[in-house]
């Protein structure tokens, strides 16, 4: 798919089977205006539809600065309760990310992706209480172990501290962050795409259901993988002591 039509606010490029989606608003610290959100949702939909793309990296254009400063407060200050409900503000972006079948790696220098790689000194915060509101994109739910302290005190913590809590997969020096994310994405892209998507479905389901239901879904997906050509190839390659050649079917 041709990504040349990407907007000025969101840039999309491809490296083999990996798409790099960059929020491109550095003069505003990549703050999420509604136009930026619309462009980001469109970019995510585009890479989801591209059969050549297997993994997505989401990052900010200014890699030594913030991934995103969050909502654009100059715009948000004029949004009423009624208008927020009418437009379902932020829900479109959250839905676009969480419903995507392909793995998304967030490369964060400065947050609902499948894998988060952060710069060691990246700053994460939920400062909404300091401007008279609360987090609205999942911060109170996804950071349960830290949410009360972070939100009520409007704290910022580093990527390395989040790694300690298991909320960031790995941390790197800033200049090594994007190469590390790309290396991980290329490794995932070399695997069978339908199998990767089955694994992602099972893992995400664990966050939304009880253990018995989760185990039942995992077992069903596991059995379903037995009908894939890639499962046959993977096991044959193991027995024959060679590298598998997956065909994504």
pLDDT tens string for the chain (249 positions)? 555 545 689 999 999 999 999 999 888 888 889 999 999 999 999 999 999 999 999 988 765 555 787 888 888 888 888 988 888 888 888 889 888 999 999 887 545 578 888 888 777 877 777 667 777 777 776 666 566 777 787 878 888 888 887 778 888 888 888 899 999 999 999 999 999 999 999 988 887 888 899 889 999 999 999 999 999 999 999 999 999 999 999
Euclidean distance between the first and final Cα of the chain, in Å? 20
Tell me if residue 219 falls in helix, strand or coil.
Answer: helix
Residue range 193-239 forms a domain whose CATH class is mainly alpha
Residues 6+ apart with CB under 8 A from 217: 201, 202, 205, 209
CATH code for residues 10-189: 3.90.226.10
d(CA 198, CA 220): 10
Residue 168 φ then ψ, to 5°: -125, 135
Domain(s) of CATH 1.10.12.10: residues in the chain: 193-239
Full-model pTM? 0.81
Domain(s) of CATH 3.90.226.10: residues in the chain: 10-189
d(CA 73, CA 58): 22
Closest CA to 46 of 24, 14, 16, 23: 14
Instruction: Compute and round to an integer the Cα radius of gyration of the chain.
Output: 19
Q: Which structure tokens are listed for 80?
A: 């009423």
């Amino acid at each position: 798919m041709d990504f040349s039509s990407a907007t000025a606010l969101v840039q999309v490029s491809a490296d083999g089977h990996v798409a790099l989606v960059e929020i491109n608003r550095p003069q505003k610290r990549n703050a999420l205006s509604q136009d930026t959100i619309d462009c980001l949702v469109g970019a995510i939909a585009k890479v989801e539809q591209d059969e050549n793309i297997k993994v997505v990296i989401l990052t900010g254009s200014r890699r030594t600065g913030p991934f995103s400063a969050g909502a654009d407060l100059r715009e948000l200050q004029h949004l009423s309760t009624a208008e927020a409900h009418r437009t379902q503000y932020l829900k479109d972006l959250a839905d676009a990310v969480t419903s995507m079948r392909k793995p998304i790696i967030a490369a964060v220098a400065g947050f609902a992706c499948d894998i988060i790689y952060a710069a060691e000194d990246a700053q994460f915060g939920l400062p909404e209480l300091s401007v008279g509101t609360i987090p609205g994109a999942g911060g109170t739910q996804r950071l349960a172990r830290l949410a009360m302290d972070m939100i009520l005190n409007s704290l910022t913590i580093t990527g390395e501290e989040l790694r300690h809590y298991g909320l960031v997969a790995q941390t790197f020096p800033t200049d090594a962050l994007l190469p590390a994310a790309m290396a991980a994405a290329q490794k995932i892209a070399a695997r069978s795409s339908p199998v990767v998507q089955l694994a992602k479905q099972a893992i995400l389901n664990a966050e939304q259901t009880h253990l018995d239901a989760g185990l039942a879904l995992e077992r069903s997906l596991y059995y379903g993988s037995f009908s894939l050509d890639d499962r046959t190839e993977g096991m044959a390659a193991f027995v024959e002591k060679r590298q598998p050649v997956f065909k994504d079917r």
